């Protein structure tokens, strides 16, 4: 019995802003949408050519920011040119950390924050 991972899901306050963030910052594409009127609506995004999706849940009528807690950490994406990606995300005006390495080593990753405060780690391939 096989259980491939297919998506990760989190709730967002402004669906349009979140869609735009993931499309503009990472080139993700909207693969499908499912709307359940008066209840919630779902937008699925994926990196072109990859089967794994982000499922963004927008709950109608929910107006308070969601709490992320201290358990969930982040979603990570890989990139070939880490420095170019970092410069591009900075130029876009996104909330971006400095480049980071482990134990004094070369830079290997940084974090970008999405509109709801979820962290996206960008890791050198």
Tell me which residues touch its own copies (CB under 8 A). 1-11, 26-28, 36, 46-48, 50, 52, 54-55, 57, 66-81, 84-85, 88, 102-103, 116-118, 121-123
Kindly tell me which of 16 and 74 has the beta carbon lying closer to its own copies: 74
Distance CA 40, CA 60 (A): 5
95 is catalytic: no
In the complex, minimum distance from the CB of residue 105 to its own copies, in angstroms, rounded to a whole number: 12
Please give the Cα distance from 82 to 108 (Å, whole number): 7
- On whether the CB atoms of residues 120 and 112 are closer than 8 A, the answer is yes
Query: In this complex, which beta carbon is closest to its own copies, that of residue 16 or of residue 117?
Result: 117
Spatial neighbors of 15 by CB under 8 A, at least 6 apart, are 41, 43, 56, 58
User: Smallest gap, in angstroms, from Cβ of residue 76 to its own copies?
Assistant: 5
Q: Are 26 and 78 in contact (CB under 8 A)?
A: no
Give the active site residue among 55, 64, 91, 121.
Answer: 121
Q: How far is the CB of 98 from its own copies (least distance, A)?
A: 19
Nearer to its own copies, 88 or 90 (CB): 88
SS3 27: coil
The set of catalytic residues is 121
């Amino acid at each position: 019995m096989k259980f491939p991972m297919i998506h990760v899901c989190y709730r967002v306050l402004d669906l349009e802003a979140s869609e735009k963030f993931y499309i503009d910052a990472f080139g993700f594409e909207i693969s499908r949408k499912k709307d359940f009127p008066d209840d919630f609506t779902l937008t699925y995004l994926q990196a072109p050519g990859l089967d794994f999706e982000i499922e963004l849940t927008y709950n109608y009528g929910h107006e308070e920011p969601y709490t992320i807690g201290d358990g969930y950490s982040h979603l990570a994406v890989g990139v070939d040119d880490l420095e170019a990606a970092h410069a591009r995300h900075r130029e876009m005006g996104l909330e971006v950390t400095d480049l980071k390495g482990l134990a004094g080593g070369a830079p290997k990753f940084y974090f970008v924050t999405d509109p709801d405060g979820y962290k996206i780690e960008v890791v050198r391939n």
